[in-house]
Amino acid sequence: MTEILILGEQANGDLNSLSKELLAAADSISDNISIAFLGNDNRSVAEDAIRYGASKVYLLQSKLLNDWSVDTRVAAYEHLLGKISPSVILLGKTQIGQDIGPRLACRLGVGLSQDSISIALDPKTMRPVATRPVLGGRMIAKVSFAEDGPNIIVIRKGSYDINKPNDNNEGDIQEITFHVEQSDKNIHHIQTILSDPGGVKLENAPVIVAGGRGLGGPEPFEMLSDLAKLLGGSVGASRAACDAGWIDHNYQIGLTGKNVSPALYITVGISGASQHMAGCSGAKFIVAINKDPDANIFKEASLGAVGDWEKILPSFISTVKDLLET
């Protein structure tokens, strides 16, 4: 296989965790891995990417790339793809990745697989095969591509374990400076509003305590927050709880919310509808608390407690506090 190109992202000057996952995904099918970053002053990010497995890093530099715009980003990637011919392009399923993937596929006239959870190679054609959940997570589909690349695959966070960094890895860093026209910008960035929920960011939380319709109102989320803080995690919610106005939609997990992959996922009053489970399918261990013994959540959970959460949860929190104090 020829070059696999990753469209990388960074957070506060650091290689983000999803880009590290993409490097692991590429490593599972190829040893010719490149990654591209947009903007200026990315040298340290490039060196970090090499430690995580990239053999080549492209630094795309232009003044307009410092301002967020999906149009300028797509124009930048088009410029790069005029110089190289990768077989596969990998993006992370972020707000940026989901915007760029379809636009770039349309511009290039190539195939696209959104929300993928794994990639492999077809042994006959050597083209990529992506695996992705469909029908609200009820089934898993394999997506193949009829034509040669560069076909585009957008990968969900939590799909791959990150490889250990190796300081002895070597790679080539190429700086590519080019001009982006103002006319390329049809969508303009007006303002960035950062939410500060406090604690651990939901997408990165190792532990998530999620509440649903069964909680009956907004007040119980304070108790969920206390448990999440004790465990070093974050609070999540089902769509029903968010739609009821009990908690902000930023905490929504599911098919129309966020995808999470914590080591421990504790659900309280969540029935386990397929739309919700599609957002937490990457969780390593699920604990469910629900008074309905026939709730679907118990089919997905590793451990379940049938009963009134108002009786179970306080005892659970008290036990966690005792264990942490010993």
Contact between 94 and 9 (Cβ < 8 Å): yes
**Cβ atoms within 10 Å of 258's Cβ, excluding its own:** 17
Distance of alpha carbon 266 from alpha carbon 40, whole angstroms: 41
Average pLDDT estimate for 5-17:
87
pLDDT digits (tens, 9 = 90+) for 163-188: 999 999 999 999 988 776 666 667 76
Q: What is the widest separation between alpha-carbon atoms in the chain?
A: 63
Q: How far is CA 171 from CA 53, 141, 211, 252, 317, in A?
A: 9, 35, 46, 40, 49
Tell me which of 38-42, 145-149, 235-239, 296-300 is least confident. Answer: 38-42
What is the fold, at CATH topology level, of the domain defined by 4-184? Rossmann fold (3.40.50)
pLDDT digits (tens, 9 = 90+) for 132-149: 988 777 788 999 998 887
For the domain covering 202-325, report its CATH number. 3.40.50.1220
pLDDT, mean over the chain: 89
Average pLDDT estimate for 203-211:
92
pLDDT digits (tens, 9 = 90+) for 85-126: 999 999 998 888 889 999 999 999 999 999 899 999 988 888
Question: To the nearest whole percent, how much of the chain has pLDDT over 90?
Answer: 61
pLDDT at 264: 96
3-class secondary structure, 109 = coil
pLDDT digits (tens, 9 = 90+) for 184-202: 667 766 777 666 556 678 8
Q: For residue 264, what are its two tokens?
A: 């421990």
pTM of the model: 0.80
Task: Indicate the domain borders of the chain.
Answer: 4-184, 202-325
Crossing angle, helix 95-108 and helix 70-81, to 10 degrees? 50
Distance of alpha carbon 248 from alpha carbon 229, whole angstroms: 18
Residue 155 has pLDDT above 80, yes or no: yes
Contact between 120 and 29 (Cβ < 8 Å): yes
Please provide the distance, in angstroms rounded to a whole number, between the alpha carbons at the two ends of the chain: 54
Q: For residue 24, what are its two tokens?
A: 């692991």
C-alpha 240: how far from its chain's center?
Answer: 22
pLDDT digits (tens, 9 = 90+) for 250-275: 999 988 888 888 999 999 999 999 88
281's CB contacts (< 8 A; 6+ apart) are 117, 133, 137, 259
Assign 67 a pLDDT band (cuts: 50, 70, 90).
low
Q: Do domains 4-184 and 202-325 have the same CATH topology?
A: yes
Assign 72 a pLDDT band (cuts: 50, 70, 90).
confident
Distance of alpha carbon 326 from alpha carbon 322, whole angstroms: 6
